[in-house]
Amino acid sequence: MLTVLAGDVLADRIGGGPARVLALHGWARSGADFAAILEGTDALAVHLPGFGTTAPPPTVWGSVEYAEHLVPGLADAGPYVVVGHSFGGRVAVRLAVAHPGLVSALVLTGVPLVRATAAPKPALKLRVAKRLHAAHLVPRSVVDRMRKNAGSADYRAAQGVMRDVLVRVVGEDYREDLARLAASGIPVHLVWGEHDDAAPLAGARLAADLLGVDVTVVPAAGHLLEGPLADAVRARLLETLEDAR
């Protein structure tokens, strides 16, 4: 059942009891990704602003602003086991660090928290175009066109403020948040596809080291919440709910 919580938070409500699970979806996805994972639980599968039918944020939000947007809708309830996929996992980490009373545990999958390699440099042509624009030798439109052509599929598909949101979020660093999580005592469970190309397993292992936890690796699985990865995330979620009783 689709419901609007306080603070204009849009979510699918699963189950008939008080929600114990909060599910946060990935970039360009929706709360519907969690339908099979949440079956039989009492949960809220949020539809984050700017995706699907939800309106984009009024300004260029980062994951901190997305997390704060959730807080009014979660107040006076919880704590929740928060399951986050990809972008939603970034938001989940920020929520747990800033509002630990709302989070009893985290189950994260495919979340780009720590880079295992240096970020790639922009293409030479784009770097030259930026310098020429700074010298007022080429118009801004040339730089924007080259940046769009060189960007990821998510960047090319994003429109308006969401493109700037993506750029901001991709540049965020979570090492300090992971250190604070490790000290908070909030259990964190990492479930990863072996062949995740959007959030490579090497980065998950670095995040696990910072958290002092292990990574559950799902053989042959990729980034999306489907097949064996979805099954493994559901199994971990149910175990976490049982531990939290």
Q: Which domains does the chain have, with CATH numbers?
A: 2-118+161-243 (3.40.50.1820), 124-156 (no CATH)
Radius of gyration of the chain measured on its C-alpha atoms: 19
- For 40-67, the pLDDT digits (tens) are 999 999 999 999 889 999 999 999 999 9
Residues 6+ apart with CB under 8 A from 80: 19, 20, 21, 22, 44, 74, 102, 103, 104
Residues 6+ apart with CB under 8 A from 100: 184, 186
Q: Which two tokens stand for residue 159?
A: 């429109």
Note the residue count of the chain.
Answer: 245
Instruction: Assign 46 to helix, strand or coil.
Output: strand
The per-residue pLDDT for 137 is: 72
The per-residue pLDDT for 76 is: 77
pLDDT-wise least confident of 5-19, 171-185, 193-207:
5-19
